[in-house]
Structure 1
Amino acid sequence: MKNICLLILVLFLTSPYGCERDDICPETTPTTPRLIIDLYDFTNQEEQKNVFDFRVQGVDNDNVLPGYNVIGATNSIMLPLRTDTNSTVYKLHINYAVNNNGTPDNPDDDFLEGNEDTITINYSTEEVYVSRACGYKTIFRNVTLLINADSDNWIKLKESLTENQSVEDESTTHFNLYH
């Protein structure tokens, strides 16, 4: 009986039901890409320009995008796009600070400082098979970026780097924003 159990175990481990190398998706495998935006100087459009005290938050989302509650400077943004709809909306806030109005123990009278612009990214999605282990990834076609106008936009101009912009990988910039 012991030999039969051992034989069944050996057969199971060597059968197609055992783990194979391609059952694990390597970290280096490209998955659903993020939208890459570089920030440039509006007056000298060949030169990248940092934004300071930068915060990115999705609209209708109370959470700040991880890595984008920056006290300091950045000149490039990588934004995840929603795969369950054909648009994603973000609030991009520069010179972000919370003013406690002189009452640090009372958050009810706190207010935000800085300048917030809202961008809307529209696209169509396409599911692409990667592998058995990794499954599918989403790529984005016909991507457009709109800057929602307000009375004090810090983003002055946008530029798509290709016609009929698509987001298939994270190897190149997709849009430039000038401020």
Structure 2
Amino acid sequence: MKYLKFILLFFALSSIISCGGDDDICDSGEGTPRIKIMFKKQNKIAEVDSIRVYADLGTNMIDLGWKTAVDSVFVPLRVDDSAFTDLYVKTTTQEDSTRVRVNYTTKSIYVSPGCGVKRNYENVNSVLSTPNSLKSVEQGQNFIENEDKTNLFFNF
């Protein structure tokens, strides 16, 4: 009986200790990166008073909401096999949205059992249609492996 209690206690403690390994949670930035967009006015990095960005992810439209007094935003891109993501930008409630199509090629990379596969984006470029307050789009780094570098500049 004495040994049975010891064995049960040993198994209970070992099962508690073995739970929650490093592969259970993907929280160290190893997931699919978002595109970083910075804003320029008169060819200088600047804050915009207000901006609203929508991303068309194919099955649904993601609304990032109104951002005020920011110089950059992070926007998710599509993770399916599509070669582009449409972004819609507006700076006032009265203006029509400006569409920016972000074109790219994707590359899947295995990260870990907990994180699975992430997408990296290569050959990133953009096309601006119907400019409003957004006058032009400037190319930054043309690949997205993480969220450190700026990929697009929106010129207002």
Structure 2 segments unaligned to the other structure (5+ residues) = none
2:29 maps to 29
Secondary structure of 2:133's partner? coil
| 1:106-117 paired onto structure 2 within 5 Å | 113-117=94-98
Kept in 2, the 8 Å contact 1:123–1:141? The answer is yes
CA apart distance, 1:123: 1.1
- Alpha-carbon spacing, 1:63–1:79, altered in 2? closer, same or farther (3 Å): closer
Q: Does 1:138 align with 2:115?
A: no
Q: Does 1:10 align with 2:6?
A: no
Give the count of matched residue pairs.
Answer: 150
Provide the C-alpha distance between the structure 2 equivalents of 1:31 and 1:62, rounded to a whole number of angstroms. Answer: 20
CA apart distance, 1:29: 3.4
Provide the C-alpha distance between the structure 1 equivalents of 2:100 and 2:88, rounded to a whole number of angstroms. Answer: 6
TM-score, normalised by the number of residues in structure 1: 0.69
> What is the CA deviation profile of residues 105-137 of structure 1, one whole-angstrom value per residue up to 9, with x for unaligned ones?
xxxxxxxx1342111111111111112222211
Q: Amino acid of the residue matched to residue 63 of structure 2?
A: V
- Alpha-carbon spacing, 1:79–1:116, altered in 2? closer, same or farther (3 Å): same
2:154 maps to 177
Moved beyond 6 Å, runs of 4+:
none
TM-score, normalised by the number of residues in structure 2: 0.78
Calculate the aligned-residue CA RMSD, in Å: 2.9
User: Highest Rg: 1 or 2?
Assistant: 1
Q: Does 1:76 align with 2:72?
A: yes
Kept in 1, the 8 Å contact 2:34–2:76? The answer is yes
Kept in 1, the 8 Å contact 2:83–2:105? The answer is yes
Structure 1 segments unaligned to the other structure (5+ residues) = 97-112
1:51 maps to 48
